[in-house]
Amino acid sequence: MEKQSEIVSLLQKTAENKKIILFDGVCNLCSSAVQFIIKHDKKDTFRFVALQSDLGKEICTYIGVDQAKIDSIIMYHPAVAYYYKSNAVIEIAEDLGGLYSIMTIFKILPEKLRNYIYDYIAANRYKWYGKKESCMIPTPELKAKFL
C-alpha cells in the first residue's frame, strides 16, 4: 500500500494533468511511434514510460494490468482511466487532434476486430521492425517528456 501511495504521489508531481503512455522500450516500431507522438503533441499532453522500467512495472501493477498477459501500448490518464491496444491508439490520436483525430472513425469497428489487427501487428513487430538491446534514452531536449 505504501508503494502505491508513492506511485500516486510521483505521478501527481511529475505528470500533473498529463496522460502517460507506457510503451515497449526495446521495440523499434514503438520507439518510432513515441517519436511521432512527441513531434505532434502540440498541447504537451503526454508523458512516456517504458514498460520494462521499474516505474512502468509499478504503474502496471497499480492500475491492475498483468504485464505477462498484455503485449500492448497503454495510455493511462491518472485518476480517470487507462486504455490499451487499439483503444489506446485511438485515444492518443484523438488527443493529438487535427487530422489524427479522424482515427476515431475506427470506433465503429468492433473492438474485437480492431484488437485482432493490433495483435497481429504486435506479434510481428520485432520481426518487421527489429528490436533494440535496451530501452531508448531520450535526448536532453526530450528528457522532460519521460518519467
Per-domain boundaries in the chain: 1-137
Distance CA 6, CA 114 (A): 35
Helix (H, G, I), strand (E, B) or coil at 143: helix
Distance CA 92, CA 124 (A): 22
pLDDT at 144: 75
Distance CA 130, CA 83 (A): 25
What CATH code is assigned to 1-137?
A: 3.40.30
Contacts of 80 by beta carbon, 8 Å cutoff, 6+ apart: none
Low-confidence ranges of the chain (pLDDT < 70): 1-16, 133-138, 140
Q: What are 26-69's pLDDT values in tens digits?
A: 889 998 999 999 999 999 999 999 998 888 998 999 888 887 77
